Amino acid sequence: MKIVSCTYERHAAAILDILNEAIVNSTAIYDYHPRPFDSMAGWFGAKEKGQFPVIGVEDESGRLLGFASYGTFRAWPAYKYSVEHSVYVRGDCRAKGLGAQLMRELINAARKQDIHCMIGGIDMNNAASIALHEKLGFVHAGTIKQAGFKFGSWLDLGFYQLLLDTPAHPVDG
């Protein structure tokens, strides 16, 4: 396994496959319809504009097995030290430690970028993701009951956060 920095040219199709599998088969993404390939240009563009990492893990043949990234938590300036992250692993590669590996890399990237608060929105029925986050030190910060509706059921959205020791000298403005 190899950790890589994902690029549009090399990884857009594989990331889209992973996202669309999650959309169609799970409540990991509160979306109803698979996304078209052309959505990936905007997705990668937003990551590049915000200088947000897209970290992947590949097997020996270069096949992308999972990825993790973060982006803006809320658009107002005082949230500049907070990000909302996501981590996704191919369905046939789950429960092998790849999510934890990706998250550790993402946490390291956040520290290097002077992020203070990492936030994950997790469906409260996603026990595996909750366990992963708790194992890495994330704590439950609250739940919005019935925030989404998918597969004929109301979905509760939990927020899990990790406070980092960065930045050393936060500033207003």
pLDDT of residue 1: 87
pLDDT of residue 173: 85
d(CA 103, CA 69): 9
Bridge partners of 54, per DSSP, are: 69
pLDDT of residue 144: 98
Closest-CA residue to 68 (of 120, 146, 138): 120
Domains delineated in the chain: 2-163 (3.40.630.30)
- Read off the pTM: 0.94
Extract the residue ranges of the chain whose pLDDT is less than 70. none
Within 10 angstroms of residue 45's Cβ, the number of other Cβ atoms is: 11
